[in-house]
Amino acid sequence: MAALVLILGIATSAGAQNADVTPGATGPGSVVRETHGAWQLSCRVPPGAREEKCALVQSVTADDRPNVGLTVVFYKAIGEDKKLLRVVVPLGVLLPTGLGLKIDGEDVGNAPFLKCGKRGCVAEVVLQDEVIAKLKAGQNAMFIVFDTPEAGIGIPVSLQGFSEAFAGLK
């Protein structure tokens, strides 16, 4: 799973580490502009910004553990041509193992958690074009968190509508 770190790249700037768990396009005042399959395109004008920002959002729970869920958010960095993936998981997950990702059963790798807050723990990465292409072509993603070193919990995320929704990011 270490390949995810290399393939996606890690967003470890001070801004990413100090950011709230919700990027500018989500949170209070956000409006769902469109729904594409399992994805919502959520938009708002972030504090201090002049333009509306949008993010793709999907919240899911583990099939066999309804108390373990996560929120997946794709968005573009403000003022940069970077596309980011932020995943918020519940408090209590094992942090050293990071967050794993598989797309249609193919191991993409893992990413470290950057911080934990009241709403959960955050993993965030800069997406490379190769991974975006896999997400657009894929049917299902599986995010993996651990509650013990031996016990991984796979949380399925539908990629239905992802390609269309991703085109709406601004």
User: What percent of the chain stands above pLDDT 70?
Assistant: 84
pLDDT at residue 102 in the model: 97
At 124-147, the pLDDT tens digits run 999 999 999 999 999 999 999 998
| Ordered domains of the chain (ranges, CATH) | 3-166 (2.60.40.1880)
Per-residue buried b or exposed e for 131-151, using 16+ beta carbons within 10 Å of the residue's own CB: bbebbeebeebbbbbbeeeee
> What's the pLDDT band for 64 if we cut at 50, 70, 90?
confident
Distance CA 159, CA 141 (A): 7
| Tokens at 13, concatenated | 């700037």
pLDDT in tens, 112-129: 999 999 989 999 999 999
